[in-house]
Amino acid sequence: MTASVEVVADDRTDARFREQVLPELPVLYRVARRLTGANADAEDLVQDTLVKAYRAFDRFDGRYLRAWLLTIMRNHHRNQLRKRRPDLLEDEVAQRLPGRDQDARVDGVDERAFRDDFDPLVRSALVSLSSKHRAVIALVDLDGLTYREAAEVLAVPVGTVMSRLHRARGKVRAQLEGHLVEDVN
Amino acid sequence: MRRRPQLPLPPEPDCHQVGAVLQSYLDGELGPEDAGIVAAHLEHCERCEIESATVSKVISVIRRQRPDLDPEPIARLAGFIDELEREGPDDLE
């Protein structure tokens, strides 16, 4: 009797987990790709996140599922980085998150982050941004995260996301200004 | 220097107050009441409306560059959830 009750409870958990997490897979995969810069690594990172989320699902309070999943992903990714590069300091780990300047030059992480048929002017404007500014644009504008969700991924306050986004878009705007005027009116 | 957003907005905010929350408004991050106040201001303030249209345009040209997502990894990950349910997390770590 007890065993069958447990099975029913597990089935319910499974059904709720699947039903709620399935729609989040595209966002999780987009963000994982941005964190790792490689499709295969991204898939592994999402799988690890799903396992950890599945284990902890009974303790999830039901609010902000996407932010909760992204926090699990970010923490796991940072732990992996620490294991691989224990010499990195905490803030350097944080800076590695979505595409350091060095990554962009060395292995084209940022190239993969944007479309191949990118409008050259917009591409040039985005690539010229600092890694912090590019990261926030990528998460909010390209991956569709809310300010709160982007803040979870970057481990910074929401206000920092807002100010970085404002500055980043301002820089893009400055580079596109002459080309925008005709379209706006 | 950008002013910090002050929320909730007063019923009739000035252009500086609207400017400070314009980004949040365009990103859909304001609550319905504040969003309504901004929308009403933009209806009658040409200067703010032009600024809003410009920022909106910048956001839209950036968002147009959103990379397409390959459906295959998503399908594999959905299959992984099935496996997780079938096998349990211990066998999949």
Q: How many CB atoms sit inside 10 A of residue A56's CB?
A: 11
pLDDT in tens for each of the 185 residues of chain A? 444 444 445 666 667 899 999 999 999 999 998 888 777 899 999 999 999 999 999 999 988 999 999 999 999 998 888 887 655 534 443 444 443 343 332 222 334 444 444 578 888 898 899 988 999 999 999 989 999 999 999 989 999 999 999 999 999 999 887 776 554 44
Q: Which of B1, B33, A64 is nearest to B19 (CA)?
A: B1
Give the pLDDT of residue B75: 97
B52-62: average pLDDT? 93
Give the pLDDT of residue A19: 93
From first CA to last CA, the distance across chain A in angstroms is 71
Taking one residue from A and the other from B, the number of pairs with CB-CB distance under 8 angstroms is 109
Q: Distance (Å, rounded) from C-alpha A52 to C-alpha A131?
A: 29
Tens of pLDDT along B10-53? 999 999 999 999 999 999 999 999 999 999 999 999 999 999 99
Give the pLDDT of residue B89: 84
Q: Which of B20, B61, B38 is nearest to A162 (CA)?
A: B20
Q: Distance (Å, rounded) from C-alpha A171 to C-alpha A165?
A: 10
Give the pLDDT of residue A123: 84
Q: Considering only CB atoms, which chain A residues are within 8 Å of B80?
A: 47, 50
Q: Residue B65 — very low, low, confident or very high, per pLDDT cuts 50/70/90?
A: confident
Q: Does A165 touch chain B (CB under 8 A)?
A: yes
User: Which A residues 59-98 touch B at CB under 8 Å?
Assistant: none
Give the pLDDT of residue A2: 46
Q: Distance (Å, rounded) from C-alpha A89 to C-alpha A107?
A: 22
- What is this structure's pTM? 0.79
Q: Residue B68 — very low, low, confident or very high, per pLDDT cuts 50/70/90?
A: confident
Q: Does B89 touch chain A (CB under 8 A)?
A: yes
The token pair at B80 is 């992984």
Q: Does B84 touch chain A (CB under 8 A)?
A: yes
Q: Distance (Å, rounded) from C-alpha A107 to C-alpha A111?
A: 9
Verify whether the Cβ–Cβ distance A115 to B66 is below 8 Å: yes
Q: Is B88 left (phi over 0), alpha (psi -120 to 50) or beta?
A: left
Task: Please report the ipTM that was assigned to this predicted complex.
Answer: 0.89
DSSP character string of chain A: -HHHHHHHHHHHHHHHHHHHHGGGHHHHHHHHHHHHSSHHHHHHHHHHHHHHHHHHGGG--SS-HHHHHHHHHHHHHHHHHHHH-TTS-HHHHHHHTT--HHHHHHT-HHHHHS-TT--HHHHHHHHTS-HHHHHHHIIIIIS---HHHHHHHHTS-HHHHHHHHHHHHHHHHHHHHHHHHHHH-
CB-closest option in A51, A113, A141 to B63: A141
Give the pLDDT of residue A10: 60
CB-closest option in A28, A115, A184 to B53: A184
Give the pLDDT of residue A102: 36
Give the pLDDT of residue A62: 87
Give the pLDDT of residue A133: 92
Verify whether the Cβ–Cβ distance B54 to A180 is below 8 Å: yes
Q: Considering only CB atoms, which chain A residues are within 8 Å of B81?
A: 17-18, 21-22, 50
